[in-house]
Structure 1
């Protein structure tokens, strides 16, 4: 994307001469990572059918970006503005699931989390390189710029986050909205389509489907136990790999698929990094994972779940802490399949404690988020029903 070549956009100077639908409120969607993009893909449909609204996208950053990110954003069919152009315009609403570059845009900024919660599960930021002070996504340093609170709306999943915000950045309290977790809501609502998801993955009634979930970084399933994919694929069960988008973004799909080559030849199916994982988790008989969001959503939505890694230092009481405390641990020195059979046989349903730690507004996230978006836009909320919130049918590479 050439930062010097600007797009003939439906906003900005001369837009009135180009547009067919006039008078739209411009909404900027900031996608600094694929993970943020996939969360925003759950939120943008809440307003995209409204002919009063014109969404445009941008990939923030002038000098450094994740590999493959621009191709992902363009695959959405979106109007994509170069970052330098996007910074020059004003917007009625800015949607972001990250704190990156939010001080550089002009408009009412709505900040969402890009995974489970805003408070973060890791006690220490991996970006700080040997950090000694615990950080959260609700700290003053990420929510303010030169004394100004940046978000006009800070979407929280839980009242506990509101209490934490009062301690870490009390001046942002007025922007906070406790909305719940839209991803968990969608997964819970989609469980009734489980058999359809299994059919889409080619899993028969008498087959067992295992999803191996991995966040990114050395403490992840992929980082600690790459051999697990081969071990399970050789056991005769159907195995699907859910990989955090940053794994592919940091290493390249060619390297990642090469490392998994033997497992793929043994039957492993790898989900695209931007879609399909929610449905695969619902379709699975058991999920093996780490401290990442996918594993938490699996356990909270009702799929038998096993933790396969030693997690990093976690915030006590965080959703990830609840997960690793409640979920059974995989013993890599023992035969795998007998352990998984035991977990499935003893499974009693969703981890209620974990689900309660993830969201304080179960089933309400879409409605609260849409109402907040229209409040910021200064438009009356449409009478039309919320769009269907079931997760899409998975597909694999």
Structure 2
């Protein structure tokens, strides 16, 4: 996820001949082998962390605080999934509060705030930052959400993305997405995808699975497709590992999601979202994920699917999507402009006169057990 978010930033400066980009992946990164393979496959320069430490860089772009203290140079930190102000579910603060990406443990190294700029998606995150790490407030800039902006741009090419998913008729795309960990929808229920495919009439729906990158990284492509073999036999389409999820979301008519941020982005786009049951998950009150969990219906495998999809559409009709969109970003459509300005200020270079690009997501790719 971190690499995908950094790829959103590359178009903002990639054509500038005054810059040269290189990549480094933290030695303790959970998806390090996959990230390194993707970087090399694109023909990019990949440094070891030892090499990255040797120089002072003109700008350090980071979508995680992991390893950031080891690299010298002005740094811009962006969120790699949901906004930085959302929860970090595997940690709690000493006082019992949820730990977010805006906690001192994420931002402060050796007594100082490490990122020179902290890109926030929404004004309300300033309040979260002031609560958890007030010394970092001067480093914050409310930039909006470039991932959401690109998702909105992708909807203009919806039909192309539908065709990439194998839909050339009037069938509806039903996207099923799960994050990783034993608490997730797929972790809790290994039969999740098969049950949904069997519940969705094939003459009406094309069911597509989008799995969190860590599922592929931790278990391997062959094993994951093996676990999904019954669902694949029943007609499930699976997005290729590390495929940009936004193409599938833009193509979707309905989304089933657990607490993954993909579900909140889909809801903010106006797509009906039916929640997938998962283990208890702490959520920061008022965050997009918490609002979705409160107001979107919960899928019940023992009941017919179609009325439940209608109920999810009803929640959208009552304004849920507009409310979530307003929580995802307070600078809609402006993230690229704001982030490019901050990046060039940190570089100490004049900003290019060319318009800020806002490209749609690439077309989604689908895999199968046999041909990959």
Q: TM-score, normalised by structure 2?
A: 0.91
Whole-Å separation in 2 of the counterparts to 1:288 and 1:260: 17
Q: How does 1:152-301 map to 2 (within 5 A)?
A: 152-234=116-198, 235=200, 236=202, 237-301=205-269
The residue number in structure 2 matching 1:370 is 340
Whole-Å separation in 2 of the counterparts to 1:188 and 1:81: 34
Whole-Å separation in 1 of the counterparts to 2:87 and 2:144: 17
The residue number in structure 2 matching 1:15 is none
Greater alpha carbon shift after TM alignment, 39-48 vs 200-209:
200-209
1:77 and 2:47 are equivalent in the alignment: no
Higher relative contact order structure (alpha carbons within 8 Å, sequence separation ≥ 6): 2
Give the CA deviation at 1:64: 7.2
The residue number in structure 1 matching 2:370 is none
Give the CA deviation at 1:132: 4.7
Whole-Å separation in 2 of the counterparts to 1:321 and 1:109: 30
1:322 and 2:291 are equivalent in the alignment: yes
* Other structure's SS at 1:151 match: coil
1:336 and 2:305 are equivalent in the alignment: yes
Whole-Å separation in 2 of the counterparts to 1:131 and 1:80: 40
The residue number in structure 2 matching 1:393 is 363
- Give 1:99's match in structure 2, choosing from 36, 60, 65: 65
Whole-Å separation in 1 of the counterparts to 2:5 and 2:41: 15
Q: Give the conservation status (yes or no) of the 8 Å contact 2:117–2:139.
A: yes
Q: Given the superposition, is the C-alpha separation of residues 363 and 257 from structure 1 closer, same or farther in structure 2, using an over 3 Å criterion?
A: same
Give the CA deviation at 1:231: 2.1
Give the CA deviation at 1:138: 0.8
1:119 and 2:88 are equivalent in the alignment: no
Greater alpha carbon shift after TM alignment, 54-63 vs 71-80:
54-63
Report how many aligned residue pairs link the two structures.
Answer: 361
Deviations 1:299-355 (A, max 9, x none): 001211110124412111111101111212111221223422453477437711111
Whole-Å separation in 2 of the counterparts to 1:305 and 1:277: 15
Q: Give the conservation status (yes or no) of the 8 Å contact 2:295–2:315.
A: no
Q: Given the superposition, is the C-alpha separation of residues 393 and 350 from structure 1 closer, same or farther in structure 2, using an over 3 Å criterion?
A: farther
Give the CA deviation at 1:228: 2.5
The residue number in structure 2 matching 1:303 is 271
Whole-Å separation in 2 of the counterparts to 1:239 and 1:199: 14
Q: TM-score, normalised by structure 1?
A: 0.86
Q: Given the superposition, is the C-alpha separation of residues 214 and 62 from structure 1 closer, same or farther in structure 2, using an over 3 Å criterion?
A: closer
Whole-Å separation in 2 of the counterparts to 1:239 and 1:145: 45
Q: How does 1:338-353 map to 2 (within 5 A)?
A: 338-344=307-313, 347-348=316-317, 351-353=321-323
* Other structure's SS at 1:154 match: strand
Q: Give the conservation status (yes or no) of the 8 Å contact 1:303–1:350.
A: no
Give the CA deviation at 1:118: 0.4
Whole-Å separation in 2 of the counterparts to 1:375 and 1:72: 29
Deviations 1:214-244 (A, max 9, x none): 1111221211233221123234131111100
Q: Which runs of 5+ in 1 are unaligned?
A: 1-34
Whole-Å separation in 2 of the counterparts to 1:282 and 1:294: 11
